[in-house]
Structure 1
Amino acid sequence: MAMNFSVPAGRSIIFLDVDGTVIDSFPGIRAGFLHALDAVGVPRPSEDFTAKIPGPPMENTLGRLMDADLVPAAFDAYMAFTRGGGWSQAQPFEGMVDFIARLKDAGYFVATATSKGESFARGILEQIGVLGHIDFLGAAEEYGDRRSKSAVIQHVVDSVGIADRTSDTLMVGDRSHDIEGAAHFGIDTVAVTWGYGDEAEWAQAAYTATTVTELEAVIRDWSD
């Protein structure tokens, strides 16, 4: 359900992906993914495949490796692993905690737009000390219709009342689904290269940043 508040006029809006952008969550996601495969007896894929699993909804990834009738049980196993502590196996990327604090201090409206489940996103952002700098926590439903990145962005756009202000909004992400999801709403993306994407994915973005310093410069130039 949309919340009844809006972003004050004159404030630029930053949407932050979480996995691969704010935090390195790969260890927990990888462990949960392998646990899910083992739970339903599906062989583990190559490490090249596994390296690309952070970001998209896990049920979509699982569906690439097994018959559709096995996906619900595998996803339940993944979620049980995550609830059991897998969600906390993450660390912020260097400089991102202070970066988010500076964004808030500089007057940007900061929202997340993550495919991570809402309770897990809230827990990890609180754990690393940035939840207080987030104006709106936009995340996926752990079970429900809000699972894709475009559905999450739609939720954020509707909740904070910026359907007519997408030109004032910039998405920060690391994967093609961040870029494509934002583009659906006319929102540009800055792709960060420290996450889980590759050059072909980053090439789709309007901007690219290889360091937090570069990311801040891109945001300043974009908002001027």
Structure 2
Amino acid sequence: MDAIYFDLDGTLTDPKLGITRSIQYALQKLDHHTIPTADELTWCIGPPLRASFVQLLGGDHAADRAVALYRERFSDIGLYENGVYDGISEVLTSLCASGHRLFVATSKAHVFADRIIDHFGLRSHFERVFGAELDGTRADKSHLLEYALKETSVDPAKTLMIGDRSHDMVGAKNNGMKGIGVLYGYGSRDELLEAGAHHICATPGAILGCIT
């Protein structure tokens, strides 16, 4: 493979605390009638944030306000309630040494994704970080990957998308890419296979065995 795109949340780093606490913060500020636990909010890790709030709030009437409140906490605190998965740095180092071009492709706003990549010392592995705009532009993984492929001038047939949720696999398939699903994040084996994953990896180290 010439180029490999990695999802961020649930693939490179485990963002559970930061994301779920920031969602809870937004719901509390909105005086929402019930505040889900962190475990009840793990389904929100990966998909576009606004769409998750629409589902949580039962409509889009307050979704934009919820996103703004979420970012109020996430931009200063939640961003760093996060950690790189064990083994990821070694995988990235090995792939770079083998001559692969590596990129990040996340539905998270790129202004936050860039800060996370820098904070955890991952910048040297990646040519570029692709993420959504703050207004939601390119939050959809299919649109994001279409844009990223054009920007990097790579052949989709020689490109991989690695991620933990169905959105990553669907985005890959819609752009003529192969998808590798990882199970150490927040998606299930069934979710990933049904979305078109070509390989499933239980650990970061297993990724290397799926790349030629």
TM-score between the two structures when normalised by the length of structure 1 = 0.88
Q: Describe how 1:63-212 pairs up with structure 2 within 5 A.
A: 63-66=54-57, 67-162=59-154, 165-204=155-194, 205-212=197-204
Corresponding residue for residue 60 of structure 1: 51
1:156 CA displacement: 0.7
1:185 CA displacement: 0.5
1:68 CA displacement: 1.6
Counterpart contact for 1:97–1:128, Cα < 8 Å: no
Instruction: Choose 134-143 or 18-27, whichever is displaced more.
Output: 134-143
For residues 40 and 177 of structure 2, the distance between their equivalents in structure 1, rounded to whole angstroms, comes to: 29
* 3-state SS of 2:128 partner: coil
For residues 65 and 212 of structure 1, the distance between their equivalents in structure 2, rounded to whole angstroms, comes to: 31
* 3-state SS of 1:183 partner: helix
1:166 CA displacement: 0.7
Backbone CA RMSD of aligned residues: 1.4
Q: Which amino acid aligns with 2:185?
A: G
Unmatched segments (≥5 aa) in structure 2 = none
For residues 141 and 70 of structure 2, the distance between their equivalents in structure 1, rounded to whole angstroms, comes to: 19
1:142 CA displacement: 2.0
Instruction: Choose 151-160 or 45-54, whichever is displaced more.
Output: 45-54
1:15-65: CA deviation from partner (whole Å, max 9, x where unpaired) = 100100000011100001111111112222365541211001111000012
Residues 129 and 46 of structure 1, relative CA distance in 2, 3 Å threshold = closer
Paired-residue identity, %: 27
* 3-state SS of 1:45 partner: coil
Instruction: Choose 171-180 or 98-107, whichever is displaced more.
Output: 98-107
For residues 76 and 206 of structure 2, the distance between their equivalents in structure 1, rounded to whole angstroms, comes to: 37
For residues 144 and 211 of structure 1, the distance between their equivalents in structure 2, rounded to whole angstroms, comes to: 31
Residues 65 and 144 of structure 1, relative CA distance in 2, 3 Å threshold = closer
Paired residues, number: 208
* 3-state SS of 2:180 partner: strand
Unmatched segments (≥5 aa) in structure 1 = 1-10
Residues 94 and 29 of structure 1, relative CA distance in 2, 3 Å threshold = same
Counterpart contact for 2:88–2:205, Cα < 8 Å: no
